[in-house]
Amino acid sequence: MEILFLFTMVIGLMMIGVPIAISLGFSSIVVLLMFSDTSLASAAQTLFESFEGHSTLLAIPFFILASSFMSTGGVAERIIRFSIALVGHFRGGLAIAGVLACMIFAALSGSSPATVVAIGSIVIAAMRKAGYAKEFAAGVIANAGTLGILIPPSIVMVVYAAAVDVSVGRMFLAGVIPGLIAGSMLMISIYVMARYKDMPAGEFKGFGEIWDSFKDAFWGLMLIVIIMVGIYGIPGVTNAIFTPTEAAAVASVYAFFVACFIYRDMGPLAGDQPVSLAKRPQAIFTAFWHPDTIATLRDAGKLIITLMFVIANALLLKHVITDEQIPQRITEMMLGYGFGPVMFLVIVNVILLIGGQFMEPSGLLVIVAPLVFPIAIELGIDPIHLGIIMVVNMEIGMITPPVGLNLFVTAGVANMSMMGVVRAALPFLAVMFVFLILVTYVPFISTALPNALMGPEVILN
């Protein structure tokens, strides 16, 4: 009874335009006051403990900051140039390069809308200039942009890890192979469509251009190396060097140095003619309080605040549903009906596809994960595998009409109608669905890499 009341209230409030965070928090408090004897003081305490008790979540602000420093300047452009040099000469090459650039950028940033904006604004323009249909360009980017939450580092994965207590490192590793597969499936289907529809191909500019563009993008690409080597070490050489949180903080500082002193896209050395550090050595200090630095910190801060306020309130809701033993009751009910793993995963798919349309993925995950996690364990589904399934579902939720988030963002960036983007995204949406089925029913894809590198998973609860 409470559960129906709780979720109806959350959804109802969201639909009339209450901020998501407050829909979650307010409903939780009302349910607490009506159905339990918990005090308001403990609700406030739970909110504070979202931070105090989940130090895993501390990685989120640093990943957001790192990607903000990386997106200040021309890193997206450098990555796109490198991608075009690599695959631009195939038929439909520019579109394939767009997918590749989204995959690389996804590895730098943890958010899908951010990936669509950074890559889409450049690639869509370039594709139209090269003679592609605007709709096709938008469809490609809307889909490839969703890889932002699947390819590590991913904010959504950090949230999942915190919500159900699995290792962030494992989740990140588990996303690598599915991310590569999803990207490849998109690229192959573009190539097939391009052959069939005779789309333009760029010219191959030679290995010199590949090398030059690689050198130019190198410092940006190094960020991925720092994060991955930091968290996992080099197999056979060192163990893990940082915790995921530390890796994210180091990545932020690194990204700041690259943006200020190597690329000189921002800070005291930036300008139409970047100044060399030797000419202005005091910049090494002034960069820290340069207006550009402050502005980047402020913008990243805004993102962190809105995202974490949702997550903190979602954790309050999670607290309420675990207090009321709702997950156990749902588990009993589902097992009572005799649902097997297959049926269960289908239900999870449906819930997330619908939820992912309306809600910020991280907040949705905090609520749904604790509900389905105990059932999954009962049914013998690997927690890491479940995490990847949930992430992929939310990717698809973002590009499913009528209100997928990425469709909105792409429509905005490309100045297109929502319906136009929906039609354009459909063929690729079908590809992503095939991918979802693959990931859902072949657990090996998700678990192989983490189990190989970090040993088999031990389930504690």
Partner 1 sequence: MSHSETPPNWSDRLEETLIAAILGIMTLLTFANVVARYGFNSNIFYALELTVFLFAWLVLLGASYAVKKTLHLGVDAAVNLAPDRTKRLLGLLVVAICVAYSALLLKGAWDYWAPFANLPPTEGRWFPTGFVEKYRGRGWYETKDIPVPFFLSWLEAVFNNGDEYEKLPKVVPYLVLPVSFALLLFRFVQAGVRVARGEQDLLIVSHEAEDDVARAAEKLRDHY
Judged by CB under 8 A, the chain residues 99 through 128 that form the site for partner 1 are: 111, 113-114, 116-117, 120-121, 124-125, 128
Interaction of residue 351 with partner 1, rule CB under 8 A: no
CA gap 171, 159 in Å, rounded: 10
- 91: helix, coil or strand? strand
Instruction: Please report how close the Cβ of residue 261 comes to partner 1 at its closest, in angstroms.
Output: 16
Answer for which of 6, 10, 21, 108 binds partner 1 (CB under 8 A) is: 21
User: Segment near partner 1 (CB under 8 A), from 86-94, 183-191, 278-286, 352-360?
Assistant: 352-360
Q: How many angstroms separate the CA atoms of 199 and 191, rounded?
A: 9
Q: Of 414 and 422, which CB lies nearer to partner 1 in the complex structure?
A: 414
Q: What is the distance between the alpha carbons of residues 173 and 184, in angstroms, rounded to a whole number?
A: 18
Question: Residue 356, CB half-sphere, CA atoms under 13 Å: how many?
Answer: 28
Does the protein bind partner 1 through residue 227 (CB under 8 A)? no
Residues 419-448 that bind partner 1 (CB under 8 A): none
Instruction: Give the nearest distance from C-beta 361 to partner 1 in angstroms.
Output: 11
- Alpha carbons 17 and 461: distance in angstroms, whole number: 38
Stretch 361-380 residues interacting with partner 1 (CB under 8 A): 363
239 interacts with partner 1 by CB under 8 A: no
**R_g (Cα) of the chain, nearest Å:** 22
Structure tokens at 277: 């550090």
Sign of CA dihedral 53, 7, 365, 349: positive
CB 360, min distance to partner 1, A: 5
- Could you tell me if 436 and 393 are in contact, meaning their C-beta atoms sit under 8 angstroms apart? yes
Establish if 342 lies at the interface with partner 1 (CB under 8 A): no
Burial class from Cβ neighbours inside 10 Å (0-12, 13-18, 19+) for residue 454 reads middle
Task: Say if CB 54 and CB 163 are below 8 A apart.
Answer: no
Q: How far apart are CA 102 and CA 99, in angstroms?
A: 5
* Residue 257 in contact with partner 1, rule: CB under 8 A: no
Residues 300-329 that bind partner 1 (CB under 8 A): 300-310, 312
Which H/E stretch holds residue 215?
A: helix 207-232
Interaction between residue 234 and partner 1 (CB under 8 A):
no
Residues 70-99 that bind partner 1 (CB under 8 A): none
Q: Does 146 interact with partner 1 (rule: CB under 8 A)?
A: no
Window 396 to 415, contacts with partner 1 (CB under 8 A):
402-403, 405, 408-409, 412-415
Report residue 403: phi and psi, to 5°.
-125, 30
The residues with which 201 forms a beta bridge, in sequence order, are: 91
Hey, which residues between 22 and 41 contact partner 1 (CB under 8 A)?
22, 25-26, 29, 33, 39-41
Q: Which of 228, 249, 367, 445 binds partner 1 (CB under 8 A)?
A: 249
In 3D space, the residue among 228, 114, 111 whose CA is nearest the CA of residue 168 turns out to be 228
Q: Taking CB under 8 A as the criterion, which residues in 269-288 touch partner 1?
A: 288
Q: Closer to partner 1 at the Cβ: 67 or 447?
A: 67
| Candidate residues 3, 42, 89, 167; the one interacting with partner 1 per rule CB under 8 A | 42
- The half-sphere exposure of 341 on its side-chain side, counting CA atoms within 13 A, is 15
238 binds partner 1 (CB under 8 A): no
51 makes contact with partner 1 (CB under 8 A)? yes
Contacting range for partner 1; rule: CB under 8 A; set: 8-16, 319-327, 369-377, 433-441:
8-16
Q: How far is the CB of 111 from partner 1 (least distance, A)?
A: 7
Give the integer Cα–Cα distance in Å for 202 and 375: 51
